[in-house]
Structure 1
Amino acid sequence: MLTIQSHSYHRSQYIHSANAVSGYTYGQINSVKEYFGLRAKNEELAKENARLKELLFNKKDTILEGNATPPGFLSDFKVIQAKVIKNSYSKQENYLTLDRGNLKGIKGDMGVISDRGVIGIIDKTTKHFATVISILHTNNPMNGKIKNSNHFGSLTWDGKSTGYVQLIDVPKLATLKKGDTIVTGGQSFIFPENIPVGKIDKIFIDKSTNKFVINVRLFNDMTNLGYVYIIENKKKREKEILEAATEKDADKR
């Protein structure tokens, strides 16, 4: 200490070394702060993605003139961001748990997707949580179609691989090939049409129905899920009431 205090060179070297140590320490502290700040940043990005998806799902095919936006133009679909806090994928009937519930407007029969594609359908909710019937569920059929040909079928899971689901009941008239994209169909009001599901991997013929059975490789890695998006179709109830009334009238005839 006497040497450092009495010689300017030694004093400058000490100060330089001390600054280097403190600078390194502050750098490490800042890195830790940035690491723990990633969660907040990811949350903000997920919220922004939800907003953009809501705009996308409500986009019409027609182009509006000028800046005019008709009433209800962006009212069909609502998108709510959530995070997966529990995920099963090794059972025959798999479920996920989300960190959002009915306080955020989440209800049963809402569709759940990620940035890559379909995840499942909301099953039950509490104030703060919701469970999701996974696409990896042997008793949870969904409507799907071949993107290039618009032929429809039912998306099911045979309970074997977490990376694949099956599109069944596709007519043999359908034009399809390996690598074609499978998306959600327009027959269900749970999901908007054309949400990605996966790509055709293998094609079989079901001898009992004489229809195609398609093995679909999922875009999602169902074993590694983070933020997801819940889709509310605000016109779903209207459609259900109309179809129920139509079926009731048909039964009377």
Structure 2
Amino acid sequence: MRNLLEFFIKYNYCFVFTLLEIIAFVLLFRSNHYQQSIFLTSANEITGKIYELSENVTSYFNLKMANRELLERNMWLEQQVSVLEKTLKRNSNMDSLTINIVKQSALNDYEIFKANVINNSLHLANNYLTLDQGASGGIRPDMGVVGGNGIVGIVYKTSPNYSLVISILNSKSNISCKIKNSDYFGYLQWEPGDSRYAYLKDFPRHAEVNLGDTVITSGHSTMFPEGIIVGTVNETSDSKDGLSYLLKVKLTTDFGNVSEVRIIARNEQNEILELEQNSKK
């Protein structure tokens, strides 16, 4: 306490000077409209800059949430567009009510779970991803996994809190895909090498296909609904036996930058798989 008093006594002139300066500025800005307007303008500008900086910081930290919402919205929109296009082809005389019913039912058969990628391999012959959601969160094998730019893979194994996913970049991966606006389909497989490309095999030779065509999931499996984007046709060639096309597909998913995904579960998946397994006995 004594030291504090000595400090104030020692620098009392500075404190008095500062106090008088503050009083002088208050009197100046209160008594003169010109100085008052300059002060208020400057204060408003500084406050505006502070608010702008605060908003930029807040927006930056909200980007992750915005990306999550966009990922979910993109997946729903892709599925709705695919279903609507297919339905409109069958019946061009539908009224608006029917169209809305079809739109709402686009993903009624599926349940969607959020997950984050905590491990990912790219350069092996058989690549896998590890997700931070497992059996305790409702995840089970054979569920489809989708990222913000397209399909990622299929759930292979689960533990209570984690899931192992067979990436598209895996020689065991075999996903039914087709060209958008066409019912002809083939099977997407990856050949070890470039993580940007995979191959659509057994695609019918009588089907029309052009470079740049969009490749989507066909819906001919329990893992993925129809219409989720896979990539674009980059190159066409004949298969080894000459009976079908071999399409080189540039994948829309950047597997070196996959962080958040959605796991898709078809509600009747177990029933369908059980029926198919019994038919093979």
TM-score strictly above 0.5: yes
Instruction: Verify the 8 A CA contact 1:123 1:131 in the aligned structure 2.
Output: yes
Selected match of 1:35 from 48, 54, 60 = 60
**2:232 corresponding residue in structure 1:** 199
Match of 2:171 among 120, 123, 138: 138
- Which structure: larger Rg? 2
Deviates further, 29-38 or 152-161: 29-38
Compared CA separation, residues 44 and 172, structure 1 to 2 (3 A): closer
Distance 1:28 1:159, change over 3 A: same
Q: How does 1:142-181 map to 2 (within 5 A)?
A: 142-181=175-214
Deviation at 1:15, TM superposition (A): 6.4
Contact 2:188 2:198 in 1 (8 A): yes
**Which has the larger displacement, 181-190 or 231-240?**
181-190
Deviations 1:172-225 (A, max 9, x none): 333322222222234322111232212211111233454321101122223223
Identity in percent = 34
Q: CA–CA distance in 1 between the matches of 2:258 and 2:158?
A: 19
CA separation of 1:64 and 1:92: change in aligned 2, threshold 3 A: farther
Range with greater deviation from structure 2 (104-113 or 178-187): 178-187
The SS at the match of 1:223 is: helix
TM-superposed CA distance for 1:113, in Å, is: 1.5
Distance (whole Å) between structure 1 residues aligned to residue 244 and residue 232 of structure 2:
19
- Bigger helix share: 2
Select between 73-82 and 226-235 the one with higher mean Cα deviation.
73-82
Q: Structure 2 vs 1, CA of residues 115 and 22 (structure 1 numbering), >3 Å: closer, same or farther?
A: closer
Cα distance in 2 for partners of 1:54, 1:103 equals: 27
Judging changes above 3 Å, is the alpha-carbon distance between structure 1 residues 89 and 245 closer, same or farther for their aligned structure 2 residues? Answer: same
Query: Are 1:156 and 1:168, in contact at CA under 8 Å, matched by a contact in 2?
Result: yes
Change (3 A) 1:208 1:35: same
**Corresponding residue SS for 2:53:** helix
CA contact (8 A) 1:183 1:195 kept: yes
Provide, for residues 100-151 of structure 1, a one-character-per-residue CA deviation record: whole Å limited to 9, x for no partner.
3323211111001234321111123334332322111222121222334423
Q: TM-score, normalization: structure 1? A: 0.76
User: What are the ranges of 5 or more consecutive residues in structure 2 without an aligned counterpart?
Assistant: 1-20
RMSD of the TM alignment (CA)?
Answer: 3.5
One-letter code aligned to 2:116 = K
Contact 1:50 1:81 in 2 (8 A): no
Matched to 2:125, the amino acid is Q
Number of equivalences: 246
Cα gap change, 1:117 to 1:48, in 2 (>3 Å): closer
Aligned to 1:214: 247
